[in-house]
Structure 1
Amino acid sequence: MIPFASIEDVIFDVSSALRVPVLILALVALALVLVELGTLAVELLRRRRHTPAALERATGAAAEALAHGDRAAAATALEAVVSGERMRSAVQRMLRQVAAPRGEQGMAKAVADFDLESLRRLERPRLLVRAGPALGLMGTLIPLSPALAGLANGDVQELTDNLRVAFSVTVLGLMTGAIAFGIALVKDRLYAQDLSDLEYIGASIEPSAPAAPAVLGQHPPAPPPAVVG
């Protein structure tokens, strides 16, 4: 039978071994959230002139170009409302589906793939929302054990050093989670706007269904006789 004291020693050793990895991961999480903040700033700059009026003008010009069979001109017209490389790729896929067999399904697939890619790009900030505070809490609790040991032994310097690390990691983790939460909210709104724009573009450039041809010798049904009161 394993003594209870030895189990406590194992848990303490594992917790102590996690101290440096947790501190490193907290710094990595902060670096990642700063990268996400930079990409968000770039995306916001790209959308400065993106307005509903610009979208209507671009889709109208693209539909007119496609009516003349000019896909290159349509792509150039829609470039004004493209927010990034992913949206540009989706628009190009949609243009290739114009007048193609099962083109409507192809356009819907392009829009759905763009939505899935947007969800994938939101995974990292959403993960940092939870990982930042979790790492901060772990970085807070791990140094408390040697800090309390230093307090018991009368070592004030060890107590001070460990508490400084614990509180610093707490602030770092909470800041990482707060920034990541704001980034996730803004990016979620931006990607939802992109999805809405793609759906509008697809509805605008999709050719109307041709009218059913008349059958030779077939006459329209006669209207019902008027009822005489």
Structure 2
Amino acid sequence: MVASIPGTDFLTSALNVISQSLLIPVIVLLLIFVVYAVITLGGLISEYTSRKKVPVTKIRDIIDDISTAESSQELLKIIDSAEISSMQKKILADLAKRENLNSKQRGALARRLIENEEDKVEKALEKTDIVTRIGPTLGLMGTLIPMGPGLAALGSGDINTLAQAIIVAFDTTVVGIAAGAVAYVVSKIRSRWYDQYLANLDALSDAVLGFYEN
């Protein structure tokens, strides 16, 4: 006869109540995640169609034009006519207009403006990164939570309850992995786009700073 440790039944019952009470929140979060993943995928397609593709050769040409500019007004015209994003133009124009600043002050401003863009990029990728990591975890939780009552029902011969538990377990697993996979793809593609955006902005801002140092 196996001796029962006092309080074990209470603790295991409490754990069971807690785990079973998490099933509904897990399912709700999974539904939110999969809806968000679909919306984000649509946003990625829309962003792709409207995105300015700026090859390295074009950045090289813009830098060459900046290096040959003879005045700040001409520099502003080059920035305004450049085939880059409106936000990049705004940042570069802001640097070009700061004629009252010395080189160190202008460099500090450039770093801060670029850091602000990096913060925006991190914030844009943060949500999809969360879904990438948490989606499969919620799917695993949705798999394990209903299996406890399902196995208990199997012990009493209730096949229907076990079948329902298995259906819920498989559905939550599929939804969690699907949401995580879509979010991962979106995050990777956007990360590559934003890295190129920041690299171009950094190169062009250095060119503008170099214009005032000459």
TM-score after normalising by structure 1: 0.78
Pairwise CA distance, 1:122: 1.5
Q: Distance between the aligned counterparts of 2:50 and 2:62, measured in 1?
A: 16
The CA distance in 2 between the partners of 1:2 and 1:63, in whole Å, is: 82
- Alignment-derived partner of residue 73 in structure 2: 69
Distance in structure 2 (CA, Å) of the matches to 1:14 and 1:192: 43
Q: Determine helix, strand or coil for the equivalent of 1:122.
A: helix
Residue in structure 2 matched with residue 165 of structure 1 by the alignment: 168
The whole-number CA distance in structure 1 between the counterparts of 2:11 and 2:70 is 73
Q: How does 1:15-54 map to 2 (within 5 A)?
A: 15-47=19-51, 49-54=53-58
Task: Provide Cα deviations, 1:90-120, integer angstroms capped at 9, x if missing partner.
Answer: 5413322222412222112111211122122
Assess, with a 3 A threshold, how the Cα gap between structure 1 residues 54 and 137 changes in structure 2: closer, same or farther. Answer: same
Higher relative contact order (CA 8 A, sep 6+): 2
Deviations 1:46-104 (A, max 9, x none): 336432333344555667778351676445323x221xxxxx34541332222241222
The alignment partner of 1:36 has SS state of helix
Name the residue aligned to 2:194: 191
User: Equivalences for 1:1-229 in 2 at 5 Å?
Assistant: 3-47=7-51, 49-58=53-62, 67=71, 69=73, 73-78=77-82, 80-82=83-85, 88-98=86-96, 99-101=99-101, 102-206=105-209, 207-210=211-214
Q: Which runs of 5+ in 2 are unaligned?
A: none
Q: Which amino acid aligns with 1:160?
A: A
Aligned length: 204
Deviations 1:190-225 (A, max 9, x none): 111001110121123332424xxxxxxxxxxxxxxx
Q: Distance in 2 between matches of 1:63 and 1:209?
A: 11
Task: Give the whole-Å Cα distance in 1 for the aligned partners of 2:189 and 2:120.
Answer: 16
> Percent of aligned positions with the same letter in both sequences?
23
Aligned residue identity for 1:178: A
CA contact (8 A) 1:140 1:166 kept: yes
Rg larger in structure:
1
Shift of 1:41: 1.8
Does the Cα contact within 8 Å between 1:139 and 1:170 map onto a contact in 2? Answer: yes
Partners of 1:74 and 1:105 in 2: how far apart? Answer: 23
Contact 2:80/2:89 (<8 A) preserved: no
The one-letter code matched in structure 2 to 1:18 is L
